[in-house]
Structure formats: structure tokens, C-alpha cells
Amino acid sequence: MDYTEDAKKFFLNEQNKKKKKELEEKYGADFYESESGVDPEIENHFLNNVEQYENLSENAVSIKVSEYIGSPIFKSIDEISPGNIAAEIENVLNIYFDHQINIDIIEKSDVSDRDYYIFLTEELPQNEIENIKIPGWTCNYIYEEFHPNDKLDSKDAIDSVLTELFLEANEKYYYTYLADHALFINDLKPLRENFYNTFNMLLNKSGKVVNHTVSYENFDVRDTIEVTATLNTKHEQKKETVVDKKWDVRFYLHRCEYGGCELFGVRIEERCDD
């Protein structure tokens, strides 16, 4: 039977709705409904892969990563001259890639080639992984998941707080990366539930903030973490009128007991460039 293109899309969309309902009921899957729409053929392929993974996962056994990638024999770090470590890292990463594993570092400047090679050849191989391989699917590891980085955790906390700071008025605050006491903004000491309103009052004197970026400059990591940055904001003053502002900011954070950082203080001053 010949189907028109519209009829094919309709059939696949109905099939995808049914498949998502089945996956939600059987496995507790949660699918985000995109307003822009996804090609139903691509979505159908994705949902079939999800179903295949869930079916395999039910009876999957865990094995060591070293076994998953074919039990290769890696050179000891002491066998490699310092100038050749980077090339050896590429060789090791290619072995992982051939077995559908991607590995990356976010804060690359904070990790030496020596430490990264040891992680790839000694530490990660001893971790366990579900023995499942599906064509086109990859397993992804980040170095900082194993070796938390204060700089990265600080950035995550600050970016999350600023994103929440500039939410629309009707959106809900979750305070996820905000400390629950002893907060300050310059000389003000707002309660947690008033922190964002107080911060916004300082910034919105130049009009509503409609966009922002942060340029990180320095991380002073001690018992607490002090981050120096420039906050760039765009303010809407009148219709179609946008004013750019720069702010010198110091963010103050402390480490959380169970990982990550929380922000507890801000010192901010508008920069007056000549």
C-alpha cells in the first residue's frame, strides 16, 4: 500500500505516542514534549532504541570497564616519557571510542597529562558498567565526576544562581545552589527567600535585565571559595532600547557536605569605564 508523506508522518506520530505511553507505564520514562516538533521517523528510531536498552537492562550484568573494552594491556605511566604521554592518551581514548565510550575533561587546564593517563588506564578500568551495547549509543564519562573540581563546582553554582535570579516574575525559585543562612549582598543581609529580590533591586536600577553573561577571572580556593568575575548585563529601559552594563563581582561560596558548592555572598559594584 502506498502512503503519502503526510499519512506516513501521521502513522508514525500515532505509533510514537503509543510507544511513549508504554515506556512511561512500564519503565517510568519521562518524555519532554517539544513545541517545535521532532521528525517522527527520528523520534521513532530513538524510542525503539530506548525500548531496546530498557529490555536489555532488565537482565544486564555489570562488568568492569576493562573487560567491556576488551581487556587491553596499557603501558605503565612510568614506561612513558613525559613528552609522549599526550600521544599515548590519544591511543587509549581511541580504544575506548571503539567500544562506544567517550571520555572528556571540562577543566582541562587543571588536569595534567600524567594524571589523566593514570585515570584512563588505572582508575576508570576498575569501575563497573552494564554490559550493554547498542549501535549508535555511547557511554560518556567526565573526569570531574571522579575528581570533583572546585572551580567547576563554583561555576555551576554561580551560573545556576544567576539563571534563577533572572527568571520571569511568575516562575518559581528553587534556591538549589544558594546557602540557607548567613547570606549577604554587599552590606545587606537578606533572608534566603528575599535574596533574589534584593539582588535584582541592585541590578534593575538601570532597567529590567534581559540578558547576561559572566566572565570568570580568578578562583581563590581556601576554606571558602572566592570567585572574581565580570557580570555583563543588558537592560531594557524603553521599548527597543537596550543598555549594556558591566559589574565587578566577587562571589563567595563554600563546599557542600555531599559535593558541589553553595553561594552565600556577593559583593558587586557597577564598573564605570572611562
In which domain, by residue range, is 106 found?
62-146
Query: For 234-245, what is the mean pLDDT?
Result: 83
What pLDDT sits at residue 56?
Answer: 63
The verdict on 125 and 102 lying in the same domain is yes
The verdict on 112 and 183 lying in the same domain is no
More confident residue, 125 or 136: 125
The verdict on 239 and 158 lying in the same domain is yes
The verdict on 222 and 253 lying in the same domain is yes
Q: Is the pLDDT of residue 25 over 90?
A: no
The verdict on 163 and 232 lying in the same domain is yes
> What gap in Å lies between CA 174 and CA 160, rounded to an integer?
10
Q: Is the pLDDT of residue 218 over 60?
A: yes
CA separation, residue 215 to residues 69, 157, 158, 222, 229 (Å): 40, 14, 11, 21, 6
The verdict on 174 and 136 lying in the same domain is no
- Strand, helix or coil for residue 107: coil
Contact by Cβ (8 Å): 251, 226: yes
The verdict on 256 and 162 lying in the same domain is yes
More confident residue, 228 or 239: 228
Give residue 268's pLDDT band: very low, low, confident or very high (50, 70, 90).
Answer: very high
Going by C-alpha positions, the residue among 130, 126, 8 that lies closest to residue 57 is 130
Q: Is the pLDDT of residue 188 over 80?
A: yes
The verdict on 140 and 246 lying in the same domain is no
The verdict on 176 and 197 lying in the same domain is yes
> What gap in Å lies between CA 165 and CA 39, rounded to an integer?
35
What pLDDT sits at residue 20?
Answer: 75
> What gap in Å lies between CA 256 and CA 263, rounded to an integer?
10
The answer to pTM > 0.85 is no
The verdict on 198 and 257 lying in the same domain is yes
The verdict on 133 and 163 lying in the same domain is no
The verdict on 189 and 221 lying in the same domain is yes
Q: What is the domain count for the chain?
A: 3
Q: Is the pLDDT of residue 59 over 80?
A: no
What pLDDT sits at residue 26?
Answer: 65
Strands 241-255 and 261-270: antiparallel
